[in-house]
Amino acid sequence: MSLETKKISYEVTDQIAYIGFGYNNEKSMTILDEETLRELDAIADELTKDKKSLKGAIFFTHKERCFLAGADISLISAMKTEADGAQGAEAGQSIFNKIEDLPFPTVACVHGVCLGGGTEFSLSCDTILMSDDKSSMMGLPEVKLGLIPGFGGTFRMPKRIGLPAALDLILTGKTVKARKAKKMGLVVETYPKEKIVELAKNHLKKGGFKKDGLKETLTDFAQDNFLSRKIIFQKARESVLKKTKGFYQAPLKILDTMEAGMMKSRSSYLSSEAQAFGELCVGEQSKNLQHIYWMTEKVKKFPGPKGEGEVPKLDRGACLGAGTMGGGIAWLMADNDMAPIMKDLNQEALELGLKQASSNFSGALKRKKLSRDDFERKMRSIGCQTDFSGFQKVDLLIEAIVENMDIKKKVFSETEKHLRKDALITSNTSSLSVEEMASALEIPDRFAGLHFFNPVHRMPLVEIITHSKVAPETVEALHKWVLKVKKTPVIVKDGPGFLVNRILMPFLNEAGYLLEEGVSMKDLDEACLNFGFPMGPCRLLDEVGIDVAVKVAKILHDGLGDRAKSSGLSAKMVEQGLLGRKSNKGFYNYDENGKVSGANETAQGLLPTSKKSMSESEIQMRVVLPMINEAAIILDEKIVETPGDVDLGLIFGIGFPPFRGGLLRYADSEGLDRILSAIEKFQGSVDKDRYAPSDFLKKLVSDKRKFYDL
Ligand SMILES: NC(=O)c1ccc[n+]([C@@H]2O[C@H](COP(=O)([O-])OP(=O)(O)OC[C@H]3O[C@@H](n4cnc5c(N)ncnc54)[C@H](O)[C@@H]3O)[C@@H](O)[C@H]2O)c1
């Protein structure tokens, strides 16, 4: 055979072609990069050439946990014009068409990750078999990058599983495991990974599988009907608009392309899919989402500095405090098989922590992501106690007790005596100085801040707070651990409010001032929602707890000076017993289910009666510009190393709108000169301290540089 391939193996035995992905590839994942696509194209040609002598083709993987992880995103990020994008999509489509057009049966034996282009490839095969391994998953996550699947996925998926199920997969980008994939008809059968190729071969020898495709159900019948199809698309559009508030272009473009193409031929449909891919891939929104993808990839590598010693392994955990955060942290450790010890002052507190952990598991249990046996085993693995027994086995201690420096220091110096000398000690403090806490320890180099966000099971960000005595091995071990428990680490130097709370501070403070100036709560919250924030500042303050916000605001004011001075409104609310959702009243009232039931009248009474009308964009700039200014100061002080750290921190810490690519990417795209002059204007018209432009920002503007040039 003349075919020479490096990344894909090709072999013919007994008239069956065996094509193996991930050959000669040291990486754990196989992606559809240029070379792989070129080889796959050559293989498709070879198969076409040999069509008379072949009885079938089986596609499989040489990898432990990956079939095809999707298209190479660096190829997409390199695309400059719509035409580049459309051409790239057409090139992939043409290969997959050749596979689909082969006259003999083709089988994709999916084992491990099979996403995006991988799933689109599998759909071009007659039959998909899937290994029942935990690592096996299929899906079309392109929408999460602001893209439409461009290799024929939107054409072939509805034909395989029906329109409603296909829309659900494509518009949400969700992935499915083997059992679900079989249930929805995406795969014909699931097998153990060791047997999948052998069974595919036996079936092929017996004459192949029965042709896949739609089972005849009422839904499938309905989608052939023009009117019911229209209703399916209308419902999908409504649901997209509800979920995305119309901020995201890709799902709407996907819907338009699919709806307009329902009756088109393959070639005409695919050319409109490629066109849509081209338009989206070079659009600002997709570029912003691609930027976030690259930032999350970058964060997986420890940025250093590296130490010379061994990086400790963190297998067994303990958590001090079983409150709101402690219960969540114990859950996280139990979920990651760390058999955690949860220590609190008494049994009642421990019960509450267990309740918290159990309720965190309940979602996974309901969604069948966790079996009842595993749930019980994991819950049983949490040891509840009021003493230090077993602390010698602990590798990682996370403290989550009351936010009080003296108590924390006392607790640390006592706890240290019960731990091994190589165990790491961390604090989940949200506002206290980690440098000062370290001074309470005999071995401060194994101590750091580990700041989780509330609720632990939902919030992806963890700030790793360093101080002058921390060992690089400690930071590296924590960085590795945070990734292992599937959270996003950002390394932050100690300082008031660390990273996220410090940038959140001006957002919340300015909200207080705007309300005192007479802007209504409704206008304020709506303006922020319309910017893309997940909630407005009044709602956010209610969630955080207004008493907590007052405490943190004071720490920030003390640490940062008058630019961080808060309006005093929150303090007045606390005096009135308005603490936010936890007391059922804050800016808003909350019903027994914690849902907003209207504005709180006492809070309204604290605000001016004559309301000021302010444009939405002015409100947005009043809260966003001081965040950018504070971020510039943070970069200048080297609290974090890169603008990407700021952006990732805010997206994953407070839900800064991802489609804007992050706070500093947004600032860059608006133009730093414009940002600076708007800040200076507010400095004159609103407040000289709160809007005092940072020297660092001024320097960037005078050097004609952007944040991302740093
Ligand atoms: N709640 C949040 O939103 C949030 C977010 C991030 C960080 N944090 C930080 O996490 C820490 C805990 O906050 P929380 O909201 O979970 O508090 P919490 O009041 O809900 O729980 C604190 C728990 O610590 C226990 N405790 C007190 N002294 C103890 C001791 N000596 N040994 C063992 N247990 C002791 C208390 O009994 C209580 O159960 C604080 O430092 C806080 O700043 C809180």
pLDDT tens per residue, range 616-639 = 999 999 999 999 999 999 999 999
State in Å: Cα 442 to ligand 1 middle: 23
Q: Is residue 549 within 6 Å of ligand 1 at its C-beta? A: no
How far does the centroid of ligand 1 lie from the alpha carbon of residue 399, in Å? 8
Residues 6+ apart with CB under 8 A from 312: 395, 422, 423, 424, 446, 473, 474, 477
Q: Is 400 touching ligand 1 by the criterion CB < 6 Å?
A: yes
**Arithmetic mean of pLDDT over the chain:** 95
- 500-709 matches 317-493 in CATH topology: no
Q: Is the pLDDT of residue 221 over 60?
A: no
406 lines ligand 1 (CB under 6 A): no
Nearest protein Cα to ligand 1, atom 8: 430
Is residue 680 scored above 60 in pLDDT? Answer: yes
Concatenate the DSSP letters of all residues of 312-338 into one string.
PP--SEEEE--SHHHHHHHHHHHHTT-
The answer, yes or no, to whether residue 218 has pLDDT greater than 50, is no
Q: So which residues are the catalytic ones?
A: 463
The rounded Å distance from CA 53 to ligand 1 centre is: 71
Determine the Cα–Cα distance for residues 176 and 161; give it in Å rounded to an integer. 13
Query: Does the Cβ of 325 fall within 6 Å of ligand 1?
Result: yes
Instruction: Please write the tens of the pLDDT for every residue from 470-493.
Output: 999 999 999 999 999 999 999 999
Write down the domain spans for the chain: 9-291, 317-493, 500-709
Which homologous superfamily does the CATH classification assign to the domain defined by 317-493? NAD(P)-binding Rossmann-like Domain (3.40.50.720)
Residue 48 corresponds to which amino acid? Answer: T
Whether 88 has a pLDDT exceeding 90, the answer reads yes
Sign (positive or negative) of CA dihedral 291, 292, 298, 303: positive
Q: What pLDDT is recorded for position 24?
A: 85
Q: Does any ligand 1 atom lie closer than 6 A to the CB of residue 426? A: no
| Atom 25 of ligand 1, residue of closest alpha carbon | 321
For range 501-521, the mean pLDDT = 97
Q: Would you place residue 225 in the very low, low, confident or very high pLDDT band (cuts 50, 70, 90)?
A: confident
DSSP H or E run through 223: helix 218-223
CA-based nearest residue to 147, from 291, 308, 319, 282: 282
Residue nearest to atom 9 of ligand 1 (CA): 429
pTM: 0.92
What proportion of the chain, given as a percentage, has pLDDT over 90? 92
Ligand 1 centroid to 217 CA: how many Å? 54
For ligand 1, say whether the CB of 581 is within 6 Å of any of its atoms. no
The rounded Å distance from CA 388 to ligand 1 centre is: 18
Structurally, what CATH architecture does the domain formed by 500-709 represent? Orthogonal Bundle (1.10)
Report pLDDT digits (tens) over 399-453.
999 999 999 999 999 999 999 999 999 999 999 999 999 999 999 999 999 999 9
217, pLDDT greater than 50: no
The class of domain 9-291 in CATH terms is alpha beta
Residue identifier of the C-alpha nearest atom 3 of ligand 1: 454
pLDDT score at 216: 45
- Lowest average pLDDT, out of 87-91, 96-100, 206-210, goes to 206-210
Average pLDDT over every residue of 346-373: 93
* Nearest alpha carbon, ligand 1 atom 28: 401
176 has pLDDT over 50: yes
**Ligand 1 pocket residue status of 429, Cβ below 6 Å:** yes
